[in-house]
């Protein structure tokens, strides 16, 4: 309703009665209204919108493809555009109802039973003082030990593991991996064995006696296996062969649970955001960390499947812009197939200006973001992912990437348990 011009009194009156009497009509109206608003803004937007491609048939395929994780570093990119190109989705079928129905086709463990809150951040909005209204989606409050984004992905991949009769879970991550913590938590909840291959991405960073997530691995009775940088495939293959030789049925979850099935968890999160926007007004942008890629690609696929064209900005925490864009787009293509959508590469917006000297290595911007969120909103971030992601959002607000009055949502993907392992620059 806020988007309707004040002069269109009759239209407002009509829509009000539709909203009250026929609430299911509103998602379709919201989709059309969003498209019209985007079209009217194209003349002044930094990046022009593309016309949608011809509709394509829906696909019910369920292809599980783990994504590779190449490593590279590069220079920060220029200010990102504030308008995403329009996805070439099947606009005749893209709607919240269509996405909701499609999601019902995927089995899950139901670790996630409630929508996570979306909260305004008035104090931080005032401190940054640039006319941008900041909001946060609290996926750090998700279930399983310590919460975080991987709970949504494990909801689906653990169901597949159990459907296949697995009695052992093997996965991999960094030495303070949030994904490994939550995978070990899910395995403990299901009563099955769990093995973690921990990659030392920074020389000398692995300590078997370390706190943070590493401490929880032991509490959850997960077995740890150390691997040097780039050695995960070798160590993991040898481990799987050993376990299978013992007569165990092994299910391997890729790093971050970032395969198409896992990413469905974030298509479901996208539906939560779309439903919130129907009641409270749309967001102008969504900002998230961009790491292993399942969160970023799943969010894009879900929004577009719901007919929502909100741009999603991914703040890279490890790779340069070009590398990360290619990685996310490859995953986005596979996830979008599950919903019968195309995945235009222009949908993938990456900033790499917060990577700093490397993955998990501290920066001054990260430390500032960590403290800004803590002292003004009483929300804890982690130094590896969410603090760098939020630092990217802070930088965008300060450089004027969002027009005054914009509503911007930060996706808090969790990670606070690792905070107690790291020291900030100041200390």
CA end-to-end distance (rounded Å), the chain: 49
Mapped onto helix, strand or coil, the DSSP state of residue 226 is strand
The answer to whether the CB of 368 falls within 8 A of the CB of 381 is no
In 218-343, which ranges are E strands? 223-228, 250-253, 285-290, 312-316
- Rounded to two decimals, what is the model's pTM? 0.78
The answer to whether the CB of 315 falls within 8 A of the CB of 288 is yes
For 97-107, the pLDDT digits (tens) are 999 999 999 99
Rounded to whole angstroms, the Cα distance separating 89 from 55 reads 7
Burial 227-252 (b: 16+ CB within 10 A, else e): beeeebeebbeebbeebeeeeeebbb
For 49-88, the pLDDT digits (tens) are 223 333 323 233 222 223 333 332 222 323 333 334 444 4
How does DSSP assign 6-53, residue by residue?
A: TT-HHHHHHHHHHHHH-GGGHHHHHHHHHHHHHHHHTTTSSSPPPPPP
Write out the two tokens for 386: 């969410």
> Residue 424 — very low, low, confident or very high, per pLDDT cuts 50/70/90?
low
What is the average pLDDT across 335-342? 96
Residue 2 has pLDDT above 90, yes or no: no
Residue 26 has pLDDT above 60, yes or no: no
Percentage of the chain modeled with pLDDT above 90: 72
What pLDDT is recorded for position 211?
A: 85
Question: Catalytic one among 95, 177, 360, 418?
Answer: 177
For 310-337, the pLDDT digits (tens) are 999 999 999 999 999 999 999 999 999 9
β-strand 407-412 against 285-290: which pairing, if any? parallel
> Catalytic site residue 378?
no
């Amino acid at each position: 309703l806020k988007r309707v011009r004040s002069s269109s009194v009759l239209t407002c009156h009509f829509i009000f009665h539709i909203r009250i009497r026929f609430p299911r009509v509103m998602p379709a109206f919201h989709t059309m209204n969003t498209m019209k608003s985007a079209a009217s803004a194209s003349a002044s937007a930094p990046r022009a919108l593309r016309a949608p491609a011809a509709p394509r048939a829906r696909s019910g395929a369920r292809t599980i493809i783990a994504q590779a994780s190449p490593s590279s570093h590069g220079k920060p990119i220029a200010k990102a555009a504030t308008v995403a190109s329009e996805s070439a989705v099947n606009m005749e079928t893209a709607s919240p109802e269509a996405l909701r129905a499609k999601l019902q086709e995927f089995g899950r463990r139901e670790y996630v039973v409630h929508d996570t809150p979306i909260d305004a951040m008035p104090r931080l909005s005032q401190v940054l003082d640039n006319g941008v209204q900041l909001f946060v989606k609290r996926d750090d409050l998700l279930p399983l030990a310590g919460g975080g984004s991987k709970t949504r992905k494990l909801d689906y991949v653990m169901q597949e593991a159990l459907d296949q009769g697995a009695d052992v879970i093997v996965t991999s991550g960094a030495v303070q991996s949030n994904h490994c913590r939550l995978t070990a938590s899910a395995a403990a909840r299901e009563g099955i064995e769990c093995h973690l291959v921990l990659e030392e991405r920074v020389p000398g960073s692995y300590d078997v006696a370390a706190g943070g997530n590493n401490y929880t691995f032991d509490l959850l009775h997960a077995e740890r296996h150390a691997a040097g940088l780039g050695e995960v495939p070798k160590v993991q293959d040898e481990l799987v062969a050993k376990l299978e030789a013992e007569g165990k049925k092994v299910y391997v979850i890729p790093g971050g649970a970032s395969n198409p099935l896992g990413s469905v968890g974030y298509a479901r999160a996208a539906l939560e955001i779309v439903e919130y926007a129907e009641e409270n007004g749309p967001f102008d942008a969504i900002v998230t960390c961009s790491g292993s890629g399942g969160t970023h690609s799943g969010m894009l696929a879900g929004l577009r499947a719901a007919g929502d064209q909100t741009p999603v900005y991914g703040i890279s925490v490890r790779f340069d812009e070009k590398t990360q864009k290619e990685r996310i787009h490859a995953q986005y293509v596979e996830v979008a197939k599950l919903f019968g959508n195309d995945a235009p590469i222009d949908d993938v917006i990456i900033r790499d200006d917060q990577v700093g000297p490397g993955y998990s290595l501290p920066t001054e911007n990260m430390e500032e973001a960590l403290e800004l969120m803590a002292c003004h909103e009483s929300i804890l971030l982690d130094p590896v992912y969410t603090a760098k992601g939020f630092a990217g959002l802070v930088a965008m607000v300060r450089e004027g990437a969002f027009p005054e009055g914009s509503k911007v949502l930060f996706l808090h993907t969790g990670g606070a348990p690792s905070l107690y392992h790291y020291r900030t620059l100041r200390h």
